[in-house]
């Protein structure tokens, strides 16, 4: 790829700017609460965009473009079925528990609702998940450096990890949030021209449709049988696997995104955070699915079956000098955003839920601030190591959904029962969470051994998530009937039936979470109908 001096200059300006943000915010980080939760002082429009941008890593950009090339319009399900309903649910129903109980992390809520053992299992598994996910973003960024700048993978991995390390180390979550907002706008600016230029070259939507394989422009109409669509899934697996278990398991329990809402300045702002994020999330298929469709239609031979190359090759083909620099910067912004989100979640869970709970429970606030910074360094180093695991997978999204089926799917069953069934017991939750996780691992092992086969890796991920959730749900209920529940007075503010409803007096009707959720829900249904 011919990268000119102006492209390098644009990339360099971006790197300098994000580092400057972290350095400028260092004076605002005086306590551990400032470092991990931004002092709970951020406006909802900022936390909303950060909530969205924290998910804009390799998953959202290269992964979704790769999905567009591999699965066609079925990729839209990751937004309109696999994201929006869960984002509305967490804003309306779950955020009052998280924000109202003043917990500092998702595992801490599990401690309050159940016991220390359940919290410990979730904290350790989530710490593992974050560094694995962070490694995906490092790998994707290094791949872009290698393909477009001809740098070695090792050098690219070290550079990308180093930049993120510096601005989180100095500015903590606040630096990450403000950089995520900047990165969100850069990603839109960098991807929108690609969709427009590629569509013009294809001859519009009609020309694109004529070049695509059969079934690539449908979302629901070919879900009657697995053999009728490129993903090899039918509507039960799509709705239950992606739309319910994986989707709700991620958006409702993953501390990576919940942490952004916890930084909001009040309850209404916290509840509106995922709802504000849902608006751009609803429209993002036009920026990521469409370039993937264009790649498989216009440059199928160049891909060579490696769908992760779809976005870099499209940038190479359609972006001239200058605009290429913007596109590359958008890619780098997305990877850094995803990595930073995982690292800030990792350092918080490690410090509060593992280090403070089991290693040094009576340290000073300044000591935990220091430990958070040390955890940032260690988290980045582990992420660098996990980046090399990603090289075994030809599609980033397949790998990510595999991880979610292990960690998030069973966890959602635990949260669902914990928040809405007061009879769920501490040891029921612990047994269910462990059983569900082991079920996912067992399902994966018999799949790779060839004992159980699916039409695609993604279909296997969806059904693995269903099994993990179902086993966790069932085991939790059974064990709860044979073990002692918590006293009801201990569950006030932690269980829906025992918690006073949130009152939003003085908030305009059009700013209330329920109104926003209804509007977004209706628009999402309309989009599903249009692209049936």
Structure tokens at 242: 């992606």
Q: Are 459 and 231 in contact (CB under 8 A)?
A: yes
Compute the radius of gyration of the chain from its Cα atoms.
22
pTM: 0.80
**Does the structure show a pLDDT above 80 at 507?**
no
pLDDT in tens, 321-351: 888 888 888 877 777 777 777 888 888 889 9
- How deeply is 1 buried, as exposed, middle or buried, from its count of CB atoms within 10 A (0-12, 13-18, 19+)? middle
**What count of other Cβ atoms lies within 10 Å of the Cβ of residue 466?**
21
- The lowest-confidence range among 87-91, 255-259, 293-297 is 255-259
- The lowest-confidence range among 37-51, 110-124, 166-180 is 166-180
Q: What are phi and psi of 264, to 5 degrees?
A: -65, 160
With the C-alpha atoms ordered 139, 141, 145, 148, is the resulting torsion angle positive or negative? positive
Beta carbons within 8 Å of 278's beta carbon, 6+ residues apart: 83, 84, 87, 88, 91, 520
Looking at residue 525, what is its pLDDT? Answer: 92
**What count of other Cβ atoms lies within 10 Å of the Cβ of residue 162?**
11
Q: Are 340 and 23 in contact (CB under 8 A)?
A: no
Domain boundaries, the chain: 5-25+33-525
- How deeply is 446 buried, as exposed, middle or buried, from its count of CB atoms within 10 A (0-12, 13-18, 19+)? exposed
Percent of the chain with pLDDT over 90: 19
Mean of pLDDT values over 127-136: 84
**Does the structure show a pLDDT above 80 at 264?**
yes
Higher pLDDT, 435 or 379: 435
**Architecture in CATH for domain 5-25+33-525:** Up-down Bundle (1.20)
Q: What are phi and psi of 42, to 5 degrees?
A: -90, 135
Mean of pLDDT values over 255-272: 84
Looking at residue 208, what is its pLDDT? Answer: 85
| End-to-end CA, the chain | 38
- Least Cα distance to 138 among 151, 157, 117 occurs for 157
Q: Are 144 and 309 in contact (CB under 8 A)?
A: no
Q: Position of tokens 């915010």?
A: 25
Q: Position of tokens 């510096």?
A: 166
Q: What are phi and psi of 303, to 5 degrees?
A: -65, -40
Mean of pLDDT values over 160-188: 77
Given phi > 0 = left and psi -120 to 50 = alpha, else beta, which region is 40? left
CA dihedral 212, 217, 220, 226 (to 10 degrees): 10
Q: Are 405 and 465 in contact (CB under 8 A)?
A: yes
pLDDT in tens, 386-415: 887 777 766 666 777 788 888 888 998 998
- Least Cα distance to 218 among 77, 108, 91 occurs for 77
**Does the structure show a pLDDT above 70 at 270?**
yes
Measured CA to CA, the distance from residue 232 to residue 74 in angstroms comes to 10
**Does the structure show a pLDDT above 80 at 510?**
no
> Residue 42 — pLDDT band, cuts 50, 70, 90?
confident
**Does the structure show a pLDDT above 80 at 482?**
yes
Measured CA to CA, the distance from residue 468 to residue 434 in angstroms comes to 10
Mean of pLDDT over the chain: 84
Using alpha carbons only, what angle is made at residue 46 by residues 103 and 68, rounded to the nearest 5 degrees? 100
Q: Are 395 and 70 in contact (CB under 8 A)?
A: yes
3-class SS of residue 499 = coil
Q: Position of tokens 């979730």?
A: 122
How many CA atoms does the CB half-sphere of 512 hold within 13 Å?
Answer: 11
Using alpha carbons only, what angle is made at residue 439 by residues 434 and 444, rounded to the nearest 5 degrees? 130
Measured CA to CA, the distance from residue 339 to residue 62 in angstroms comes to 14
Beta carbons within 8 Å of 391's beta carbon, 6+ residues apart: 139
Q: Which helix (H) or strand (E) holds 371?
A: helix 365-387
State the DSSP code for 57: S
């Amino acid at each position: 790829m011919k990268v000119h001096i102006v492209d390098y200059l644009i990339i360099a300006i971006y790197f300098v700017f994000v580092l400057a943000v972290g350095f400028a915010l260092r004076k605002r980080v005086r306590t551990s609460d400032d470092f991990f939760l931004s002092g709970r002082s951020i406006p909802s429009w900022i936390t909303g965009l950060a909530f969205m941008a924290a998910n804009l890593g390799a998953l959202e950009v290269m992964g979704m473009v790769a999905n567009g090339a591999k699965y066609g319009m079925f990729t839209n399900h990751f937004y309109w079925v696999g994201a929006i309903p869960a984002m509305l649910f967490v804003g309306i129903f779950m955020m009052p528990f998280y924000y109202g109980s003043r917990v500092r992390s998702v595992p801490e809520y599990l401690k309050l609702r159940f016991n220390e053992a359940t919290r410990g299992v979730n904290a350790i598994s989530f710490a593992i998940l974050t560094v694995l996910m962070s490694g995906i973003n490092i790998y994707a960024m290094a791949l872009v450096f290698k393909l477009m700048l001809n740098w070695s993978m090792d050098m690219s991995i070290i550079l990308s990890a180093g930049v993120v390390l510096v601005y989180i180390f100095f500015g903590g979550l606040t630096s990450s949030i403000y950089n995520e907002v900047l990165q969100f706008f850069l990603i839109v600016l960098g991807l929108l021209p690609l969709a427009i230029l590629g569509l013009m070259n294809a001859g519009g939507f009609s020309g694109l449709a004529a070049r695509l394989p059969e079934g690539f422009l449908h979302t629901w109409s070919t879900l009657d049988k697995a053999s009728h669509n490129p993903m090899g899934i039918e509507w039960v697996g799509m709705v239950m696997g992606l739309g319910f278990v994986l989707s709700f398991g991620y958006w409702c329990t993953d501390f990576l995104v919940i942490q952004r809402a916890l930084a909001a300045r009040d309850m209404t702002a916290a509840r509106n955070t995922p709802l504000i994020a849902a608006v751009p999330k609803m429209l993002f298929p036009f920026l990521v699915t469409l370039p993937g469709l264009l790649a498989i239609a216009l440059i199928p031979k160049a891909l060579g079956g490696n769908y992760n190359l779809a976005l870099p090759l499209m940038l190479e083909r359609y972006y001239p000098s200058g605009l290429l620099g913007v596109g590359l910067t958008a890619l780098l912004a997305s990877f850094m955003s995803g990595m930073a989100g995982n690292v800030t979640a990792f350092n918080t869970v490690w410090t509060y839920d593992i280090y403070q709970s089991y290693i040094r429970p009576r340290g000073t606030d300044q000591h935990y601030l220091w430990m958070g910074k040390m955890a940032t360094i260690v988290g980045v180093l582990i992420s660098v190591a996990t980046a090399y695991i990603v090289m075994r997978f030809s599609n980033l999204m397949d790998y990510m959904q595999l991880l979610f089926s292990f960690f998030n799917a069973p966890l959602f069953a635990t949260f669902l029962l914990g928040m809405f069934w007061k009879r769920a017991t501490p040891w029921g939750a612990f047994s269910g969470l462990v059983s569900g996780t082991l079920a996912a691992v067992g399902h994966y092992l018999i799949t790779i051994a060839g004992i159980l086969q699916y039409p695609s890796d993604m279909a296997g991920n969806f059904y693995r998530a269903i099994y993990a959730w179902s086993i966790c749900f069932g085991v939790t209920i059974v064990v709860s009937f044979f073990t002692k529940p918590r006293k009801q007075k201990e569950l006030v503010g932690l269980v829906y039936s025992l918690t006073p409803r949130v009152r939003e007096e003085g908030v305009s009707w059009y700013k209330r979470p329920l109104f926003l959720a209804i509007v977004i829900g209706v628009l999402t249904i309309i989009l599903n109908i249009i692209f049936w």
